[in-house]
Amino acid sequence: MTDNTTASLNGKVALVTGGARGLGLEIASQLAARGAYVVIGAREKAKAEAVVSNLHALGLEASAIKLDVTSDEDRQQAYAAIDKAHGKLDILINNAAVLLDSPNGGTPAPRQPSRALPSVLRETFEANFFAPIFLTQLLLPLIERAEAGRIVNVSSIRGSLTHLSDPTSPVYPIRALAYDTSKAALNAFTILIAEELRSTPIKINAIHPGWLRTDMGGAEANMGVEEGARATINYATLDETGPTGGFFFLDERLPW
């Protein structure tokens, strides 16, 4: 795959969900540093505005919107704001997600799948599966107006059925039913919509950014957000020869 990590993004408009902290913050910062106009979406607008202030201080272009991805009203307002300000959307990073099964990504779920709580399953699927689907559907007309729209669904290796069923895989013992199955479902959505859009210039892929040192990933994780963000952005800036409908970690195609 072509390395696109240094190409200018001048004139591109990007939306990053969950963009006020962790991986989303780093993705937004790197996109802005490369010239993109970045719309920071966060549940708390004040936190998004703080990020925007920091980017403006560096001479970078960005704006903030309140975007709880599980809120239909927030999703509608996001569409209206981007449409009014830009009339298009070049890059959509579906990054916002929750992990409710366990304290962090390196800790096995205290409840086995047979005892997973319905409330945890429903809340997880609302944020990790339904929200990115509904947001992507809503914003697709804006993405279609871009020259070559790119959508990246931030998934996880824990959404790989191959890894979940492999006793030698490092994710095998975690057994976080809500998180793991929500990411597997997100992967399925990625395949289906990518095939629908294959005859268009739009490319959509799922990526595993790595086990990252964030609140979600935990302190024992083996990668920083900088590397995870660079990998994500590489799939957000693919040229016309790049893949679509795939599942990747860095340059490695992961098994479904």
In a domain, 3, yes or no: no
**How many domains would you assign to the chain?**
1
In a domain, 1, yes or no: no
Average pLDDT, the chain: 95
Q: Are 29 and 52 in contact (CB under 8 A)?
A: no
Helices 131-145 and 72-85: crossing angle, nearest 10°?
Answer: 10
Q: What predicted TM-score, i.e. pTM, was given to this entire model?
A: 0.95
Only one residue has tokens 């096995």, namely 108
pLDDT of residue 223: 73
- HSE-up of 202 (CA within 13 Å, CB side)? 25
In a domain, 175, yes or no: yes
pLDDT of residue 3: 54
pLDDT, one tens digit per residue, over 126-169 is 999 999 999 999 999 999 999 999 999 999 999 999 999 999 99
Closest C-alpha to 133, from 64, 204, 65: 204
Q: Listing from the earlier edge strand, what are the strands of the sheet with 37-42?
A: 62-66, 37-42, 13-17, 91-94, 150-154, 203-207, 247-249, 252-253
pLDDT of residue 4: 59
In a domain, 8, yes or no: no
In a domain, 6, yes or no: no
pLDDT of residue 218: 76
93 lies in which domain range?
Answer: 13-253
In a domain, 115, yes or no: yes
Give 137-142 contacts, CB < 8 A, sequence gap 24+: 138/75, 138/76, 138/78, 138/79, 139/15, 139/78, 139/79, 139/82, 139/89, 139/92, 142/79, 142/82, 142/83, 142/86, 142/87, 142/88, 142/89
pLDDT of residue 5: 59
pLDDT of residue 15: 98
pLDDT, one tens digit per residue, over 199-222 is 999 999 999 998 787 877 877 777
CATH code (residue 170): 3.40.50.720
Q: Which residues are catalytic?
A: 179
In a domain, 178, yes or no: yes
In a domain, 35, yes or no: yes
**Tens digit of pLDDT per residue, the chain (256 long)?**
455 556 899 999 999 999 999 999 999 999 999 999 999 999 999 999 999 999 999 999 999 999 999 999 999 999 999 999 999 999 999 999 999 999 988 889 999 999 999 999 999 999 999 999 999 999 999 999 999 999 999 999 999 999 999 999 999 999 999 999 999 999 999 999 999 999 999 999 999 998 787 877 877 777 778 898 998 999 999 999 999 999 999 999 999 9
pLDDT of residue 130: 98
